[in-house]
């Protein structure tokens, strides 16, 4: 009895339910109001903790709650951002948060909650970075960037050789050169082998196991062997070679996966419309595999940086890794951190370069 009685009830109820569900979420408060509430709540939370003396022992909890509060408010704001302001909103989140994190770091160390010897304040790291940039280290004959402001002066006195000597003293250019050379020397043959392995089953069956085994081997472990293969074991050769090797294996395996994943109907269409041999690669196989190839290149870039920094830790007289390790040895944490910052900047800049290249080579990619 009750079952049929419920049906009309539910039916009668549904329009009401729809009306409530269909309503947009209560139109958000204005932006300043939201930010005001956020500031107020944060201040209240941190203030209460501070006044009760709990902030210092519970600083991580305080920051975590602040983080959650910011996320909640940012989500609210994000829901009502007009499409025109969307970019600005996203930028603010992407760059605003790291700035906030740095400020928090600064305050915590200033307050003596964390030891400045291990976690020097961001301002002191920045100062150290500036110091490294403008000063020439007489002892090792190096500088961070190679003092580019001296280029006109050096060019006048010593010509191109003088300019070159400036580049040669730079840690950044030393690292960048090794990464770039190793990257190019490793990636191009790696991609080519990967394409062949993706297409040809015989080659794939013969090489796949070996390649996978070598791929998982930490390349730094073969550095000593590679050193012995070069006439000058302490020169640039072995360093570049190890970067190239790690990039090579990664790119071969990635590209192979990308080529194998190509929808066969594209290859069929290519062949049916007369693409054979090289044109088939140029017009069908390579473009179809490009997204995966670029994903591989990004991974390879990270790997290349890891490898070169480790090698510079171990055995180099120059390079950002060497510099970082050197300042650790002489217990100068600000400059050590400055070295890490430089590595990060290198990573970001190189990733952007790769993205730029991807946009150029893959104009069809979405977004």
Partner 1 sequence: MTETNARAPETAPRIVTRNVTKVYDTVAGPMVAVDDFSLDVADGEFVCIVGPSGCGKSTYLRMLAGLDTHSSGTIQIRPGSDPKKPLNSVVFQEYAVFPWKTVIENVAFGLQMRGVGRAERLEVARYWLERVGLRKFADYYPHQISGGMKQRVSIVRALANDPEVLLMDEPLGALDAQTRIVLQDELLRIWEETRKTVVYITHSLDEAILLGDRVILMTAHPGRLLATFHIGIQRPRTVETLNTAEFAELRGAIWEQLGREVTRAMEMQS
**Angstrom distance (rounded) from CA 187 to CA 191:** 6
Nearer to partner 1, 5 or 278 (CB): 278
Stretch near partner 1 under the rule CB under 8 A, chosen from 10-18, 234-242, 287-295, 326-334: 287-295
**Tokens matching residue 60:** 């991580």
Least distance to partner 1 from the beta carbon of 50, Å? 53
Does residue 277 belong to the site contacting partner 1 (CB under 8 A)? no
> How many C-beta atoms lie closer than 10 Å to residue 179's C-beta?
25
**Tokens matching residue 101:** 């994190």
Least distance to partner 1 from the beta carbon of 356, Å? 18
Stretch near partner 1 under the rule CB under 8 A, chosen from 31-39, 193-201, 271-279, 324-332: 271-279
**Angstrom distance (rounded) from CA 333 to CA 192:** 44
Q: How far is CA 42 from CA 9, 48, 55, 74, 78, in A?
A: 47, 10, 13, 14, 19
Does residue 273 belong to the site contacting partner 1 (CB under 8 A)? yes
Does residue 279 belong to the site contacting partner 1 (CB under 8 A)? yes
Does residue 288 belong to the site contacting partner 1 (CB under 8 A)? yes
Does residue 359 belong to the site contacting partner 1 (CB under 8 A)? no
Question: What's the half-sphere exposure (Cβ side, CA atoms, 13 Å) at 214?
Answer: 15
Applying CB under 8 A, among 118, 139, 160, 364 the residue interacting with partner 1 is 364
Scan residues 37-56 and list those touching partner 1 (CB under 8 A): none
Cα 353 off chain centre by: 12
Nearer to partner 1, 42 or 362 (CB): 362
List CB contacts of 15: < 8 A, sequence separation 6 or more.
none
Chain contacts with partner 1 (rule: CB under 8 A): 263, 265-266, 268-269, 271-275, 279, 283-284, 287-288, 290, 362-364, 366
């Amino acid at each position: 009895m009750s079952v049929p009685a419920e049906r009309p009830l539910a039916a009668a109820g549904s329009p009401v339910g729809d009306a409530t569900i269909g309503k947009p979420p209560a139109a958000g408060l204005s932006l300043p109001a939201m930010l005001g509430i956020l500031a107020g709540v944060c201040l209240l939370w941190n203030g209460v903790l501070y006044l009760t003396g709990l902030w210092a022992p519970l600083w991580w909890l305080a920051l975590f709650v602040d983080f959650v509060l910011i996320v909640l408010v940012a989500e609210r704001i994000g829901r009502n951002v007009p499409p025109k302001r969307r970019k600005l909103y996203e930028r603010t989140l992407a760059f605003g948060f790291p700035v906030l994190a740095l400020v928090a770091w600064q305050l915590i160390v200033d307050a003596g909650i964390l030891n400045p010897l291990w976690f020097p304040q961001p301002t002191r790291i920045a100062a150290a970075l500036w110091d490294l940039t403008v000063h020439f280290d007489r002892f090792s004959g190096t500088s961070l960037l190679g003092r580019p402001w001296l280029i006109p002066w050096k060019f006048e006195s010593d010509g191109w050789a003088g300019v070159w000597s400036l580049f040669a003293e730079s840690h950044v250019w030393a690292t960048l050169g090794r990464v770039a050379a190793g990257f190019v020397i490793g990636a191009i043959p790696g991609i080519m082998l990967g394409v062949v392995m993706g297409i040809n089953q015989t080659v794939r069956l013969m090489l796949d196991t070996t390649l996978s085994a070598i791929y998982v081997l930490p390349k730094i472990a073969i550095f000593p062997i590679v050193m012995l293969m070069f006439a000058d074991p302490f020169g640039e050769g072995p360093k570049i070679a190890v970067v190239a090797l790690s990039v090579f294996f990664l790119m071969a395996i990635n590209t192979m996966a990308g080529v194998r994943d190509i929808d066969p109907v594209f290859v069929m269409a290519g062949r049916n419309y007369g693409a054979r041999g090289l044109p088939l690669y140029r017009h069908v196989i390579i473009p179809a595999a490009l997204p995966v190839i670029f994903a591989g290149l990004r991974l390879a870039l990270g790997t290349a940086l890891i490898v070169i920094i480790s090698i510079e830790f171990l055995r180099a007289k120059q390079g950002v890794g060497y510099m970082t390790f050197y300042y650790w040895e002489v217990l100068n944490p600000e400059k050590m951190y400055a070295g890490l910052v430089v590595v990060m900047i290198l990573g970001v800049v190189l990733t952007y370069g790769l993205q730029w290249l991807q946009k150029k080579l893959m104009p069809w990619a979405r977004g």
